[in-house]
Amino acid sequence: MNVREAVLTVDETQASFLEQGPSLTERAARTAAAAAADADAVDRDARFPHKAFEVAREQKLLGVMIPVEYGGFGASIYDVTDICYTLGRACASTAMIYAMHQTKVACVVRHGHGIPWMETMMRRVARDQWLLASSTTEGQNGGNIRASAAAIDHAGDTVSLVRDATVISYGAEADGLVTIARRATEAAASDQVLLALAKDDYSLKQTQGWETLGMRGTCSTGFELKVDCPADRVFPESYDKIHAQTMTPFAHLCWSSAWAGIAAAAVTRAQAFIRKAARSSGGQMPPAASHFTAAKMSLAKLRALIAANLDVFARAEHDERALSSLDFQSSITLLKVQASELAVETVMHAMRTAGLSGYRNDGEFTMGRHLRDVLSSPIMINNDRILANAATSTLMSGVPLSLRD
Ligand SMILES: Cc1cc2nc3c(=O)[nH]c(=O)nc-3n(C[C@H](O)[C@H](O)[C@H](O)COP(=O)(O)OP(=O)(O)OC[C@H]3O[C@@H](n4cnc5c(N)ncnc54)[C@H](O)[C@@H]3O)c2cc1C
């Protein structure tokens, strides 16, 4: 069926599916089991984790955040980040793809109410388990998301766009795409809009491969993105608002949770190593056991940091003023920096716990994949770029006067 002609109604059975069927935790566990079984092959062959997403679709995991009235489960940010963590423990690429997809879904859900096309999109994500990709990186602009080179061109009821999309993870596998663009040819680089597109609204021509150290299953190839679509694909709200209220909080919370999952998987392996080593030497701890304690401590810090930011976001979620406050923006922006550094630190300690057994690429305690995957975290929007941009706002935001406020 042509997407543009699709007339969809809410599937009543879908809405009650969660009540009768397995819980979100069980659904995530089933998907994680499939992802874990395929993780080494996905990494080795740098291929999309098809098996994990087959199960994710069966379990209706892609549409969990869609409100019940549009056929989803109305899951919260807590639910979604928990799923990212669970998947991260199994397969980093699966978790990161899921995290990116949910970030795009959040934009459609939070800024698409009352807009017929966006509501259709919500229904397709819930009913047909559409997977949405993301295009923010452009040309030589790196992670400078708040400036776009390519502009949309308006012609009557349609718009067009040609974009040098340097990196679109799982672009070839996605059913739709959410992209930023300059509002019009005469607009400033920072005057941006967001578009939510179905697959037949655009075409992709591959321009770069994805032969990387880690996160190989995200298949984040470069494309020339050509868009030709009805004008209702453009969100009426300007991108700066969507960026602050939704894109950044969801991206940073979901990514951090996926990275925490990778870190937790490495800690699990390190723990198993210590136990085995101690058992085989009459209870004597291996020489690098203190690294295990350090790994546990940094994982605890990472989880606490995410949990604190989750609570703050959940409290402010529907309060525009609170979301735009300097304190919130500063905290949610720096979450990404801190979480990625802690995730790398945790995996490094875990690997050093296991020594050669962690370093080698074979055996039950190998942690090479975890380390390679987690090393993507500080550069996925470069931490140094974020810190340089945050310098002024950090200076302006206050120092807390009490411990808990
Ligand atoms: C696993 C993973 C998945 C990702 N998925 C997506 C996605 O789905 N969609 C998306 O839009 N982005 C995606 N990204 C990209 C990410 O969002 C950032 O934009 C990107 O990591 C920043 O890259 P950078 O280090 O090149 O840029 P920055 O560190 O921000 O900037 C590097 C700067 O160096 C210069 N430069 C870079 N390369 C060259 C070169 N070859 N020659 C000369 N100068 C150069 C440029 O001036 C550039 O501004 C993904 C990244 C990762 C790691």
Is residue 405, in this structure, part of any structural domain at all? no
| Of residues 339, 33, 80, 91, the one with CA closest to residue 214 | 91
Taking residues 353-366, what's their average pLDDT?
A: 96
**383 and 247 in one domain?**
yes
Is residue 306, in this structure, part of any structural domain at all? yes
> What are the pLDDT digits (tens) for 38-71?
999 999 999 999 999 999 999 999 999 999 999 9
Please determine, for residue 2, whether its predicted confidence score (pLDDT) is greater than 70. Answer: no
What ligand 1 atom has the least distance to the C-alpha of 100?
8
Q: Is the CB of 218 under 6 A from ligand 1?
A: yes
Q: What pLDDT is stored for residue 1 in this prediction?
A: 39
**138 and 101 in one domain?**
no
Please determine, for residue 356, whether its predicted confidence score (pLDDT) is greater than 90. Answer: yes
Please determine, for residue 11, whether its predicted confidence score (pLDDT) is greater than 60. Answer: no
**63 and 185 in one domain?**
no
Is residue 39, in this structure, part of any structural domain at all? yes
Pocket test for ligand 1, best of 48, 144, 207, 380 (most atoms within 8 A of CB): 380
Q: Is the CB of 169 under 6 A from ligand 1?
A: yes
Task: Give the pLDDT band of residue 3 (cuts 50, 70, 90).
Answer: very low
DSSP assignment, residue 65? T
Question: Tokens 């004008």 sit at which residue?
Answer: 231
Q: What pLDDT is stored for residue 287 in this prediction?
A: 87
CA atoms of 362 and 87, how far apart (whole Å) = 22
Q: Report the chain's mean pLDDT, rounded to a whole number.
A: 93
Enter the tokens of residue 251.
């991206």
Structurally, the chain folds into a number of domains equal to 3
Final residue in a domain of this structure, among 202, 233, 264:
233
Contact 116, 239 (CB under 8 A): no
Enter the tokens of residue 342.
């802690």
Is residue 326, in this structure, part of any structural domain at all? yes
Task: Give the pLDDT band of residue 231 (cuts 50, 70, 90).
Answer: very high
Please determine, for residue 295, whether its predicted confidence score (pLDDT) is greater than 80. Answer: yes
Q: What pLDDT is stored for residue 20 in this prediction?
A: 65
Is residue 211, in this structure, part of any structural domain at all? yes
Q: What pLDDT is stored for residue 18 in this prediction?
A: 58
Non-local (6+) Cβ contacts of 39 within 8 A are 49, 90, 91, 92, 93, 94, 217, 369
Is residue 401, in this structure, part of any structural domain at all? no
CA atoms of 150 and 237, how far apart (whole Å) = 19
Please state the pTM of the whole predicted model: 0.94
Contact 322, 393 (CB under 8 A): no
Which region, left, alpha or beta, applies to residue 397 given φ > 0 means left and ψ of -120 to 50 means alpha? beta
Enter the tokens of residue 31.
């998907």
Final residue in a domain of this structure, among 212, 233, 254:
233
Tally helices (H) and strands (E) across the chain: 15, 7
Please determine, for residue 183, whether its predicted confidence score (pLDDT) is greater than 80. Answer: yes
Q: Is the CB of 215 under 6 A from ligand 1?
A: yes
| Of residues 114, 128, 106, the one with CA closest to residue 6 | 128
Is residue 402, in this structure, part of any structural domain at all? no
Enter the tokens of residue 390.
């945050």
Q: How far is the CA of 210 from the centre of ligand 1 (A)?
A: 12
Please determine, for residue 355, whether its predicted confidence score (pLDDT) is greater than 80. Answer: yes
Q: What pLDDT is stored for residue 15 in this prediction?
A: 47
CA-to-CA separations, 317 to 127, 213, 338, in angstroms, rounded: 26, 36, 22
Q: What pLDDT is stored for residue 234 in this prediction?
A: 98
**121 and 38 in one domain?**
yes
DSSP assignment, residue 186? T
CA atoms of 192 and 146, how far apart (whole Å) = 8
Please determine, for residue 313, whether its predicted confidence score (pLDDT) is greater than 60. Answer: yes
**188 and 104 in one domain?**
no
> What are the pLDDT digits (tens) for 232-279?
999 999 999 999 999 999 999 999 999 999 999 999 999 999 999 999
For residue 372, give the H/E element and its range: helix 368-374
CA atoms of 319 and 361, how far apart (whole Å) = 48
CA atoms of 258 and 189, how far apart (whole Å) = 31
Q: Residue 11: give its domain's CATH number.
A: 1.10.540.10
Closest residue by Cα to atom 39, ligand 1, is 140
Is residue 24, in this structure, part of any structural domain at all? yes
**165 and 92 in one domain?**
no
- How many CA atoms, within 13 angstroms, populate the side-chain half-sphere of residue 193? 23
**168 and 182 in one domain?**
yes
Q: What pLDDT is stored for residue 16 in this prediction?
A: 53
Taking residues 155-168, what's their average pLDDT?
A: 96
Q: Residue 193: give its domain's CATH number.
A: 2.40.110.10
Q: What pLDDT is stored for residue 21 in this prediction?
A: 85
Taking residues 301-323, what's their average pLDDT?
A: 96
Final residue in a domain of this structure, among 130, 164, 180:
130
**282 and 257 in one domain?**
yes
Q: How far is the CA of 371 from the centre of ligand 1 (A)?
A: 20
CA atoms of 16 and 21, how far apart (whole Å) = 8
Q: What pLDDT is stored for residue 393 in this prediction?
A: 78
Contact 25, 82 (CB under 8 A): yes
CA-to-CA separations, 211 to 43, 169, 222, in angstroms, rounded: 11, 13, 11
Q: What pLDDT is stored for residue 62 in this prediction?
A: 98
Enter the tokens of residue 369.
């994949």
CA-to-CA separations, 65 to 6, 233, 333, 347, 354, in angstroms, rounded: 21, 20, 22, 30, 39
For 202-320, strand residue ranges (E) read 202-208, 221-230
> What are the pLDDT digits (tens) for 100-141?
999 999 999 999 999 999 999 999 999 999 999 999 999 888
Please determine, for residue 8, whether its predicted confidence score (pLDDT) is greater than 90. Answer: no
Task: Give the pLDDT band of residue 19 (cuts 50, 70, 90).
Answer: low
Closest residue by Cα to atom 41, ligand 1, is 140
**141 and 96 in one domain?**
no
Please determine, for residue 10, whether its predicted confidence score (pLDDT) is greater than 70. Answer: no
Q: How far is the CA of 167 from the centre of ligand 1 (A)?
A: 7
| Of residues 42, 13, 214, the one with CA closest to residue 127 | 13
Q: Residue 312: give its domain's CATH number.
A: 1.20.140.10
**255 and 116 in one domain?**
no
**166 and 58 in one domain?**
no
Query: Which domain, by its residues, includes 25?
Result: 3-130
What ligand 1 atom has the least distance to the C-alpha of 141?
49
Q: How far is the CA of 2 from the centre of ligand 1 (A)?
A: 34
Taking residues 355-364, what's their average pLDDT?
A: 96
**17 and 43 in one domain?**
yes
Q: How far is the CA of 123 from the centre of ligand 1 (A)?
A: 32
